[in-house]
Amino acid sequence: MQFIAPPADNRMPSVLPLLGVSLLPALLVLAMVCFSLNREKETIRLPTSMQPRPPMIRETPTITMQLSRQGIVTLGGQPIVGGTLTAAWQRELAALRLLGFEPAQATVILCADREVPTNKVQRLIEKAQEAGFTRCVLRQGPKP
């Protein structure tokens, strides 16, 4: 017996590859929907505690001091002019004591422009230490 191929114009294209390609995205979407429905059914177990309220955490106060490129010192949002820096530190010290803090508990954040000479920054830190503030943090000041 000899096999003879049918004429080229009578051939039927195979439907199976077309069916597979069209059903694959539908199956992927169905699988994604099933996985997302399972996540919605999950429950969250919150920890139980015997404490009647959360513990009190005492925050440390911060005092922000800025030193601009022009040499303008700002302490607590108020510009300091001339030799009134010591008086400004005394005001900050009094305000801290009214709130129940000591100056050693406060953190002084000094934001200085990168163009400011180092000796000016050091003098400001020394003035803060003379007033009793021992923790100082240096940060780069805001860009002009």
Residues 73-121 pLDDT 10s? 888 788 887 778 888 888 888 988 898 888 888 889 888 888 888 888 8
Domain for residue 91, yes or no?
yes
Q: Count other C-beta atoms under 10 Å from residue 120's C-beta.
A: 13
Note whether 108 and 135 are within 8 A (CB): yes
Domain for residue 89, yes or no?
yes
Residue 34, pLDDT > 80, answer no
CATH of the domain at 88: 3.30.420.270
Residue keyed to tokens 């003379």 = 130
Q: Of 68, 64, 62, nearest to 141 (Cα)?
A: 68
| Structure token pair of residue 16 | 């199976």
Contacts of 88 (CB under 8 A, 6+ apart): 75, 76, 78, 80
Range(s) of the domain holding residue 112: 62-140
Domain for residue 84, yes or no?
yes
Domain for residue 108, yes or no?
yes
Q: How many domains in the chain?
A: 1
**Least confident piece of the model among 22-31, 54-63, 65-74:** 54-63
**pTM of the predicted model, to two decimals?**
0.56
Residue 11 backbone dihedrals phi, psi, to 5 degrees = -70, 140
Domain for residue 68, yes or no?
yes
Note whether 87 and 95 are within 8 A (CB): no
Domain for residue 71, yes or no?
yes
Domain for residue 117, yes or no?
yes
Domain for residue 66, yes or no?
yes
